Structure 1
Amino acid sequence: MTLPTDPAANLAALIRCPSVTPADAGALGVLSAMLERLGAKIERPVFKEDGTPDIENLYARVGAEGPHLMFAGHTDVVPPGDEAAWTHPPYAAEIANGHMFGRGAVDMKGGIACFVAALARYHERHGAPAGSVSFLVTGDEEGPAVNGTVKLLEWARERGEAWDAALVGEPTNPDALGDMIKIGRRGSLSGTLIVHGRQGHVAYPHLADNPVRGLLMLVEALLEPAFDEGTADFQPTNLEVTSIDIGNPSVNVIPGRAVASFNVRFNDRWTPESLQAEIHNRLDRAAASLRLRPGRDTPVAFDIEWRDRPSPVFLTRDDRLVETLAASVAAVTGRRPQRSTSGGTSDARFIKDYCPVVEFGLVGQTMHMVDERVALSDLETLTRIYLRFLEDWFG
């Protein structure tokens, strides 16, 4: 039986499944076929929740003893956008100029393809690992992330699964393989600010209460001053206003309501609860200001709605896991990777509650873009890094 040692062949098979969230489109079946050739025990639970699409997931384990290493990732992808704008069809896995083109090439079917190839090469060289390797793969990472990794982790733990360490194959390198591993992530908190006013004629402002004036003061209070200057391991906390919506088609009517949405990426000086408290304090102080509301003697009337499930900040301090991965990257590439907590969120924010977790994958420059692509040489290099990591971890 031929083992799936070729990362390019593995990736092509995965790309040809148009698994745009929440559709699986056969991607987990393709992955299952690869893992069966490695002797994995495979289960594919489907999770459901009202108001969200049903999601099929995959849990596979090679081996039955410890130590137990988890590889985590996702086979779902974002939509391709205008397919006519692609140089090569987004689901054809065509190769040109040393690159494979396709949606998910780097985010993150490429990482899955390389890890499968690395484990297959490990089997060829050494036989089964002196321990276990599991695959925790969801089809819901690019979607609402409700019926994916969170429930899959709970499902596995209820069946007695426990892990010593986890590696997430997200694209972590800004420019070249060996640039960066992720040893943590900032937290993420989203909210919607709703300012209530009183509708009226613009020629009679004293009879109305313009919520736009109040909204401007409250938004300014969210943006200034800075929340902090950063910490030894994290960038400064940053709030971005992502939309301002008035919904007023008329130029001579003062609206009755104004809404702004925002997201905060925060460091380890904050928890979601302490950050919410700080934002409330800022808004309460600003609401009492009369600076943009002449003739008013009452605070701005507002509500704030927090989005569900804020993501907490985390930092992996497991020296053995981080050092083993960093040393494996350096051994293959000759480059000592930066240990970073930058970027957005990933499913590592869920995994960290079960075991130490790090992230390392391909170069992410084209993820989510038209003509997403990966260099074939990078597929081979990443496979070699993962193989070295497996050898060192189980060695």
Structure 2
Amino acid sequence: MADDAAPQAVLDLTCALIARRSLTPDDAGCCALIGERLAALGFALEWIDAGGVTNLWATCGSGAPLTILAGHTDVVPPGSRKDWLSDPFVPEIRDGMLYGRGAADMKSGLAAMVVAVERLLAQGEPRGTLAFLITSDEEGSALHGTRHVVEVLKARGLVPDYAIVGEATAAESLGDRITIGRRGSLGCNLRVFGKQGHVAYPEKADNPIHRLAPVLLELTTTVWDQGNMHFPPTSFQVSNLHAGTGANNVIPGDAELVFNFRFCTESTADDLKDLVHGILDRHGLRYEADWWLSGEPFLTREGALIKAAQAAVADVTGLTPALFTGGGTSDARFLAPWGAETIEIGPVNDSIHKINEHVLVADLDRLSRIYQGVLERLS
């Protein structure tokens, strides 16, 4: 690819991906489109689909280091069309911004990665193995996407050296942050049992809301850990509380509480479960607790990948990126425990999951050059 054609190439591929209505877990042909580009470069394509999810594993080269470029084609629902200034699946440029669902999260990142590799390989074969791991199940349950592919590849004995995830990580301008870790996410559906009855005869009932109240106070005021230099303290948040029959004169028979921990590397999921069960038992509750672990916390220590990313960002943008560990979960939570130095770097995330999602057109090629710069420094 001619260098002067690259800026338009990133824009064109981003637009082509936005135009595919890939509501999770429907890939809508995005991986096939990317696969065609990669196959033309000599990548071997393998489809590791599962549970209605499209997963593309594409490799080029051989030996170490094994560097993975990872991302997802699926997007969240756009909501009502009338709330958007233009059709969310018809890419449109206005005032230097490209609008469309997935523009920032994360079809621009995928397009920038593909073009970066096209430019890189035009210069000659890199050292080691380049791989793409692309899924259509990141915004959904994430059970059959990257998690599944990693397990399949682990069984083959593969261990990556580096992983770059193209999530939108910038706060205000491209390159101002590199995500080097994420907190873990542990959730629970808690059902507290009581005894239904008439509000006029409380002695004949057992109000689960009243039993839950002091427990909830303790849960919300407990200091779970102190955090560390990389992470803030573990947080506890209630996302839903439900009880009652709909009648104002009935004591309910049970109450349901949904809560979530975002936990740092100072705590483990098992530790937090044990602490919660200790509180519940100490208050004498009768309950059922249904726990789910979305991901363990991870942290990439300073090494070759972070240094390469910092240098590439400085070359392209002149910025010194902050090393960030905040935000929600991403598929990096499956790649880092596999053994790879893992970072996330992508466009500005201000509009992700929002109405009129957008990305700065000028950032598209700059992001691609950042990816290219990272890969050149790792080769």
TM-score range, shorter chain: over 0.9
Partners of 2:2 and 2:322 lie apart in 1 by: 37
Where does residue 235 of structure 1 map in the other structure? 232
Alignment check: 8 A CA contact 2:244 2:251 kept: no
Matches within 5 A, 1:60-209: 60-124=58-122, 126-159=123-156, 161-209=158-206
Alignment check: 8 A CA contact 1:215 1:259 kept: no
Partners of 2:244 and 2:23 lie apart in 1 by: 32
Where does residue 317 of structure 1 map in the other structure? 301
Residue 330 of structure 2 corresponds to residue 327 of structure 1: no
Partners of 1:204 and 1:153 lie apart in 2 by: 57
Instruction: Tell me by how many angstroms 1:310 deviates.
Output: 4.1
Per-residue CA distance 1:202-228 (angstroms, 9 max, x = gap) = 111111111111121221111013223
Partners of 1:310 and 1:364 lie apart in 2 by: 21
Partners of 1:372 and 1:87 lie apart in 2 by: 10
Where does residue 347 of structure 1 map in the other structure? 331
Q: Percentage identity across aligned positions?
A: 41
Q: Which amino acid aligns with 2:335?
A: I
* TM superposition outliers: structure 1 runs of 4+ over 4 Å: 1-4
Partners of 1:205 and 1:159 lie apart in 2 by: 62
Alignment check: 8 A CA contact 1:222 1:283 kept: no
Q: Which amino acid aligns with 1:9?
A: D
Q: State the TM-score, normalizing by the size of structure 1.
A: 0.91
Partners of 2:12 and 2:307 lie apart in 1 by: 30
Per-residue CA distance 1:44-76 (angstroms, 9 max, x = gap) = 22213xxxxx11110111212322211011001
Structure 2 gaps, min length 5 = none
* Equivalent pairs, count: 375
1:246 to 233, 236, 243: 243
Instruction: Tell me by how many angstroms 1:257 deviates.
Output: 0.5
Instruction: Tell me by how many angstroms 1:83 deviates.
Output: 1.4
Q: Which amino acid aligns with 2:372?
A: L
Q: Which amino acid aligns with 1:225?
A: T
Alignment check: 8 A CA contact 2:305 2:374 kept: no
**Bigger mean CA offset, 153-162 vs 111-120:** 153-162
Residue 225 of structure 2 corresponds to residue 222 of structure 1: no
Residue 378 of structure 2 corresponds to residue 393 of structure 1: yes
Q: Which amino acid aligns with 1:302?
A: Y
Where does residue 17 of structure 2 map in the other structure? 14
Alignment check: 8 A CA contact 1:38 1:120 kept: yes
Q: 1:12 aligns to what SS in structure 2? A: helix
Alignment check: 8 A CA contact 1:221 1:283 kept: no
Distance 1:35 1:366, change over 3 A: same
Alignment check: 8 A CA contact 2:98 2:361 kept: yes
Q: Which amino acid aligns with 1:327?
A: A
Q: CA RMSD in A?
A: 1.6
2:351 to 341, 366, 373: 366
Partners of 2:357 and 2:18 lie apart in 1 by: 11
Instruction: Tell me by how many angstroms 1:177 deviates.
Output: 1.1
1:338 to 322, 328, 332: 322
Q: Which amino acid aligns with 1:156?
A: L
Where does residue 263 of structure 2 map in the other structure? 266
Alignment check: 8 A CA contact 2:190 2:257 kept: yes
Q: State the TM-score, normalizing by the size of structure 2.
A: 0.95
**Bigger mean CA offset, 343-352 vs 56-65:** 56-65
Instruction: Tell me by how many angstroms 1:162 deviates.
Output: 3.4
Partners of 2:125 and 2:84 lie apart in 1 by: 41
Partners of 1:228 and 1:245 lie apart in 2 by: 28
Where does residue 295 of structure 1 map in the other structure? none
Instruction: Tell me by how many angstroms 1:123 deviates.
Output: 2.4
Partners of 1:235 and 1:158 lie apart in 2 by: 35
Partners of 2:124 and 2:84 lie apart in 1 by: 42
Per-residue CA distance 1:130-180 (angstroms, 9 max, x = gap) = 222100001111111111111112223444543211111111111111211
Q: 1:55 aligns to what SS in structure 2? A: coil
Residue 279 of structure 2 corresponds to residue 282 of structure 1: yes
Residue 24 of structure 2 corresponds to residue 27 of structure 1: no
Partners of 1:28 and 1:115 lie apart in 2 by: 13
1:213 to 203, 206, 210: 210
